[in-house]
Each structure stands twice: as structure tokens, then as C-alpha cells.
Structure 1
């Protein structure tokens, strides 16, 4: 059977021969007008279909029609099959070898039907490409995305994965560039591996872990793949996503969590927080998110503020730049996990949270409930000094000037007046952004301390002053109460300044007397 060419006319493929077609093969929406002899002599599958059809149909019928709806690789792969069967020119490449190999398996094009059949030829070429070329192996994997489950059953995915793992784990220390030997970076294989689809990526990373690839490199590759994947998809609320898309994204996130190497410091805390954020948004398996909680908690004492910065998705104007809720969850999880153990590192967590609070305090869209949740996430005992905490609270009050008195009071409950340094207390007494009750109490405490310095007493003075302010406030209406309280505070501040001046003068006199006494002794 001699054919001059295979021509396509819209969705129909026709062979230019001197013999009329007696076989039509329908592959999806494409039809191939062929001949029985060259096809049945090379394909066991088509052989059976043809003879089954001939057994029940009249031989005088028009060309026999058979359907290959499940052919892996579709019409494109079948075109290669037809060219092979008719002896026409065809090219096997890294992009079409996997579909051609799967199609040859499906059609049973073995040596039993024809010597040097398509299956053996594609097998030789596939093995050569996988073993010899790094880049072409990834082209093969790319073509396998439309061949599931054939690529898995015929072990194409496994063979490609093994080849990639072997080259990545046993790569030479350097490569020749011109006349010089350049050292390869440990992560030279990241870019190509990170381009794989999730199921192929899992296969390759699993192989790398089994071959002993460094856990830190494996973790960095997972983070690199995740960053690239996030740049290609949009994660929205599951109500607005198509059900299938949502399920695929959720499965992807769960697969990434399971793929994480267990070794300590193999992945950064920042990446784990991003994964946790994704897991919460996509409602992943609670057991997996709990594992992330525990792992993040074990790393918090070694983190910096930048490690806690996890950007929110989308461009919603009501959202903050960074997701604060996921940090609150991580801190609360840490506190609950160590509450029954000695906590030598919890002071480091306190400094970390204070720094994070100061970083996010200027966010205009940061809700007071979220800010307070983070303020209260740690017990007060973690702070030996509240100056940094006060600084963060003051920054939030400055960025949110429209808070009510009650809201400002709720924020300042986290502060312990006794843990403020002298400089911080002086700043508090001049700070009009703080709630009046806090300012009043600190001024009273300052007066008490100075009275004690001068007379050795002060508790009665504090009680008297406090009761006077309370009685004055109770006798007035709300408008008058605010004005009178402000006047009272100003008067108290003036008293503090007068007493400070007196104390300063007394100290000067004391120093002069001491100098004179030393001279008299001499």
C-alpha cells in the first residue's frame, strides 16, 4: 500500500493513494480515511475491532467505521501512528514521544504483528531522551499532563522522575563555561523542577528525599514552587470559586503540607505561615493545619518581624496589607503548647510580638479587635519592660484618631504601668492620645513617688487625690465631667512639675552640703 501524502481537510485526514479508502477511524472530532491492510497488520487493537465489525456487517457496505475515543494523545498521536503504518515521514521529539508511546501501547503495536513496530521504536527513543537530556525530560513530563493515567501506568512519570533525581543529586561540582570551570549553585535544578504540575512535582520531590537530597534544599524548592503557583492562580472565597477548581486548589495545598521535610529549619517560618494562611482560606484538613500550628510555634523564638509578614490576597480595600489573624493564631497556639512547661524563651516571643505590633500599628484598616487579640495573645508576665508595647499602642492610637474612649481603654489594658521606664512615664503624662483614666492614674502615681521621696509617705495622698477626682466627676454631667477632668489633670501635671523642681533644688542643696562637709573634714 503506497501513499504519497497524508493531507488534512478541516477535521478530515485523507491519504493520497491509488486505492479507495475502506476504513474510517474516528478519533474525537477528527476522521481518518484509511485502508484496513496497513492498519490491521500493525495494530492488534484495530485488528480485533475490524474483524469484529466485519463479522456482523455486510461486506458490501461502505468503508468500515471504527471509533478510538479513548486513544491517549488523541488525533495528534494517531497521525504519527498512521504515518508510521504507511511508511510516511514522521518525527519523534521530546514533546510527542510520550503520546506516541502511549498510543502504540493502546493500539498493541508490538513485534508480534510487525517487525520493528512502533512500540519498540518509541521505547528506544524514549529511553534515549530520558537518559541523555535534562531539558527534554521536562518536555516529556509536560506532554504527560494530558496522558493520565497512561503516563503513570506505563511508568513514564517514574522514569522521568528517577532521571531528574539522579542528575540533581549527582550533579558535578562545576561546569565548563568557555575556558573556565564555574561552580554550580546547589539549587541549579529549582527553576525546572518548579515548573512541574503538582502531581509530577510530588513524584520528583519524593524521589529526591529518598535519594538523600538535603532537607533544606527540598524545603526551599517547595517554597519556590509554591510562590510560582500562587502567581498563576487566584485564591478567592470558596463560595465564589467553581467547585472543581476549589477542590484542586485545596488538594494542592494539602499535598504541599504533606510534602514538607520534617527536619528542623528545612523551611522558613514565613513560608509555613503562608501555607497556614492558604490552608485556612481553602479549609484544608484540620489535622494538617494543626501540624503547621505546632511547627510554627516551635520556631517563633528564633524569628524576626519580617518572618511574620504574610501578605493578604487580592486588592480588597478593606483588608490590611498583611494577614494579622494568622500571626495571632500562631502565637496563641505557641502559648497553649508551652503553658505547662518552663518558658525560658517566651521573653523572646514577647519582643517579637512587640516589634510586629509596632510594624502593623500604622495600618489604617487594622481593626481594633484584631489588634487587641494580638495584644492579649501573650500573658503579661512575658514582659519585663512595657516600653516597646507602649510604643506600639501609641502608634496605633495615632494612626486611628477616631477611636472612642472605651476602645482606647480596651487597648491600654495590656499595659502594666509599673513596667514603664521613667522616660516612658514622662511621655505618657504628656500624651493626649491615651485614655484619660490611664493618664490620671500615672500622674497620681508620679505624685505619690515624689511625695515618698520628700516625706516618706504618699499612700494617703494618692487615695485622697483619687477620691477627689471621682467625686468631682460624679457631681458633673458628661460634658462638664470631661472639661473638669481635663482641668484636674492639667493642675495635677503642674503640681508634678512644681514638686519635680523642688526635688531638684533639694538635691542640689544636698550635694552642696556634702561638698562642704568633705572640705571641713579635710
Structure 2
């Protein structure tokens, strides 16, 4: 999307992207790969074999010693002048990065790109290719490319941050992750006017205008959509996505937009968030009853499904662990403001959190968030299976807690309608909502519908049914017809005839 001024329109033509070493001790025309071994194209026999993973490099000591402090130390500490083989299994970036570093040592031109820069920068650090050994050594060169080329480009910042996933903890310690996250956040929050645009990822078919052409730019009257950055940022691994969102929060982006980005990410990496909820009606107590939950938003369709989630039995241990980490991370970065994400999203996230046994403290936090906007929930959202927590089909205790959180929130807003932080007043003006007198009525209708549905479960105790039915104050119900229907359904399902003193 955001293009560097140093990029050409037809490819990766960076101004200073080809690296060469200023001096080298062995003349060569290049490297030659034979099977899994690299050989230097020169008449001088190799006197050093370097093993990186399962790849062997047949090299010469002098070019490496003149530029790598690591190789110097290994050979010196061995106390063996005849040593002709070293193993660098821990080298970040693996054999691909070492190949480029070795070519640099020989004075062979190395083309730097967003795809190889992070691995090469980490490898240079590991090999200790500092200025103490040679001016303009590899650490200096790769740092310059990162700072002046990568961080000025939206696409390259995304690509490099993505490549850092395989370079922990080196990329983190070298601040590559932090710098890319900050660069992405700054660009996402900046005024898009006057910037050339091109999507990093494939834009939706119905996107308009289309900015996937690198040399195109929107006309002055074309408005850049506020969610232009969602798809690109959702390509990142969850920990890097959290870093970017956290940086965006600090820069003051509207909380509704941050919430929408979180929902977009969840839809891409937690497809079960939708499929499980859509199948809620199929698990229903009443035979043949299918509850239509609808869709969260049009932007939730499609995406990169790294983890395919279904029922609990279909989740492998690794998949469950990955999804649990994603859910816990997303809960921790949801903006605290009401309506930053939809109630439907929160309840679906809560469904998966219970299924995957997410940390109890985070589940409680999520329940409180649902309570803040409980009046927006639908019956389908509330039909959350108990997942073995109780004998009942649906988690009635959970709904009871959600209702309690809602009532507490209503009481707080009623007693202090102007309660709002200083930062909220200035950064999110007009976002706060005082207690809505109609909210309790909507919740009452929702609870009555829920009671009618769960009343068909013969394992539902009379006590649980009664506690939930009496949780709302009498003033919340303008009509008791819904409650009477739920009571009648419960009596019939439990084969109770005649009036009951319990109600």
C-alpha cells in the first residue's frame, strides 16, 4: 500500500540494494551449488568447510576471518591451526542467510530485498561482522538498508515483520520487530493524502478503488477507506499483530477501527469462530430446530486459514494451543471502550474461549465486556454449550453471570452517568453512552426467549431456571407473556401438570 520513494514501479530497484565488500583476498566468479554443497569458483583449493544445517560450504579462511569476529574466535579458541571444519547450526536465517554473508565476504554482489534482509541482518550479528574488522561491514550495510529503505515502505515493513517469525529471538533483540511495528503503525495512522498506494495482499474482488497496481495512485476525489490496512496487518503472526495494534493504540487511532481490525484478524485465523456459532442451532435441544445466526460482517469472509477449527473433538493439541494463544492475545488488546467490537463477536469469542479452556482471568474479563453491551446479544449468541461444565446442554450458569455483569454495569451508569476518563473525553469524544432505559427491556425479552429454549432440557434444575427468571427486576418487563411461555415450556418438558408453587 504505502510505497517507498526509492522503489521503482516495475520491481525491486532500490538505490543502494546491491552490496559488495570493498576488498577480498580470493578472486572468484561466484559460488556453485552441487547437491547440498556450495563451492567457490576459484583455482585456490578450499581450506575451510562450514556446515549450516544440512548444507556444506567449501570456503577459504581468509575472506571469513577478515570480516567475521565469530569465525575468528572459533578458530582461535580451537588452538588448532589445522582446523578445517566448523559447524554453525545456531546461525539465524540458516544456510540461505549464510550463503549471502559468505558471498559478501568474497566481494560478490549481494542483492538486498525485503525477503532476505532480516535473516541477513541477524546472521551478520551472529557472525559479528562489525566495523572493527572492516569499514562498511555487513552489520552496517544491512542496518542502513533496514533504516532507509524497508522502514520507509509499507509493503516492505509488512514483509520484513512477517519474515521475523522464523528469527526469534534475534529479530526481537535487534529491534527489527519493534521498528517494523512502529513503522506500520505510523503509516496506518497517517493522513493518506499524497501517498502512492498498492495492496500488499490481494484486495477483495469488490474493492474500489483498486490500488494493487504499484504505479497507480488514487485520484484526488477518491477516498481511501479507513480499513485499508486490515488485510495486510492480518497476515502477521499473533504476537506481531499485537505489537502493531498496541503501537496503533498509542498513536490514538479511533477505538472502533481498532476493534474492527481485531474482528477481521479473528475471522482470518479463527474460522471456527463463525462455523461453530453458525452450527449452534444444529446442536439445539429441540429436534430439527436451526437457528440462523447470520454473519458478523461482510469483511469476515475468506482469508488465510492457518488453523482449521471445527468441533472440540476435531482440534489437535497443537491447533488448540495455537488457537488458545490467539484468543488470549485478542482479548488482551480489545479496546476498553463500549462498542469497540460487537457483542456477537464477544460472545463467539467467549464460546471458543470456554471450549479451549482459556485462562480463567481472561474469560472473566471477556464476560464483563459482554455485560457492558448485553442488550445487543441475540438468542443464537447465547446458546453456548456447557462443554462438560455441567449436565445441562447449554451453559446456563454463564448466561446468569453475563446478566449479573449487565445489571452491575447498568447500576454504575445510572448512578454516575458522566463517568468518563479524561483521555476518553478528548480522544474518543461522544463515544460514551449513559444507561439506556430500554436496555433492560430488551434484555428481559432476550432472557425470556433463552429460558424458553433451555427449558426443554430435562437436566435443567428448577433452581437454575428460577434464579435466572427472577434475576431481572419487575420493572424490566412491561409484559410477562414471554416469561409465562418459558414457565409453561419448562413444566411441559418436565411432565409437571397443574399449577406449581415454585413459580
Q: TM-score, normalised by structure 1?
A: 0.66
1:30-429, aligned counterparts within 5 Å?
Answer: 30-53=55-78, 55-56=79-80, 59=82, 64-173=84-193, 177=217, 179-231=219-271, 232=305, 233=307, 234=309, 237=312, 241-242=316-317, 245-301=319-375, 303-305=376-378, 308=381, 326-334=398-406, 348-355=439-446, 358=449, 367-369=457-459, 377-379=468-470, 381=474, 382-390=476-484, 405=492, 407=494, 409=496
Q: 1:245 to 1:355 in 2, by over 3 A?
A: closer
Partner of 2:280: none
Give the drift of 1:241: 3.7
User: Tell me, which stretches of 5 or more residues in structure 1 are unaligned?
Assistant: 398-402, 410-435, 440-522
SS of the residue 2:498 aligns to: helix
CA distance in 1, matches of 2:75, 2:322: 40
2:22 is aligned with 1:16: no
Deviations 1:373-429 (A, max 9, x none): 5775241734331223455678xx6xxxxx9956154xxxxxxxxxxxxxxxxxxxx
Give the drift of 1:19: 1.2
SS of the residue 2:270 aligns to: helix
CA contact (8 A) 2:372 2:409 kept: no
CA distance in 2, matches of 1:43, 1:368: 74
Q: 1:392 to 1:158 in 2, by over 3 A?
A: same
Q: 1:212 to 1:345 in 2, by over 3 A?
A: closer
Partner of 2:281: none
Judging by fraction of residues, say which structure has more helix.
Answer: 1
CA contact (8 A) 1:235 1:313 kept: no
Partner of 2:284: none
Q: 1:335 to 1:109 in 2, by over 3 A?
A: same
Please identify, of 38-47 and 118-127, the stretch whose mean Cα deviation from structure 2 is larger.
Answer: 118-127
SS of the residue 2:109 aligns to: coil
Partner of 2:30: 5
Deviations 1:77-96 (A, max 9, x none): 00111111122233211011
Deviations 1:64-113 (A, max 9, x none): 11111110101110011111112223321101100001111111112221
Q: TM-score, normalised by structure 2?
A: 0.68
User: Tell me, which stretches of 5 or more residues in structure 2 are unaligned?
Assistant: 1-25, 197-216, 272-304, 416-434
1:439-454, aligned counterparts within 5 Å?
Answer: none
SS of the residue 1:183 aligns to: coil
Please identify, of 232-241 and 116-125, the stretch whose mean Cα deviation from structure 2 is larger.
Answer: 232-241
Partner of 1:445: none
Give the drift of 1:339: 8.9
Q: 1:406 to 1:154 in 2, by over 3 A?
A: closer
Computed over aligned residues only, the root mean square deviation of the Cα atoms, in angstroms, reads 3.8
Give the drift of 1:10: 2.3
Deviations 1:428-465 (A, max 9, x none): xxxxxxxx5269xxxxxxxxxxxxxxxxxxxxxxxxxx
CA distance in 2, matches of 1:360, 1:212: 42
Give the drift of 1:30: 1.2
Aligned length in residues = 394
Between 1 and 2, higher relative CO (CA 8 Å, sep ≥ 6) is seen in 2
Q: Point out the structure with max Rg over C-alpha.
A: 1
Give the drift of 1:261: 1.5
Partner of 2:419: none
Give the drift of 1:123: 1.3
CA contact (8 A) 1:276 1:289 kept: yes
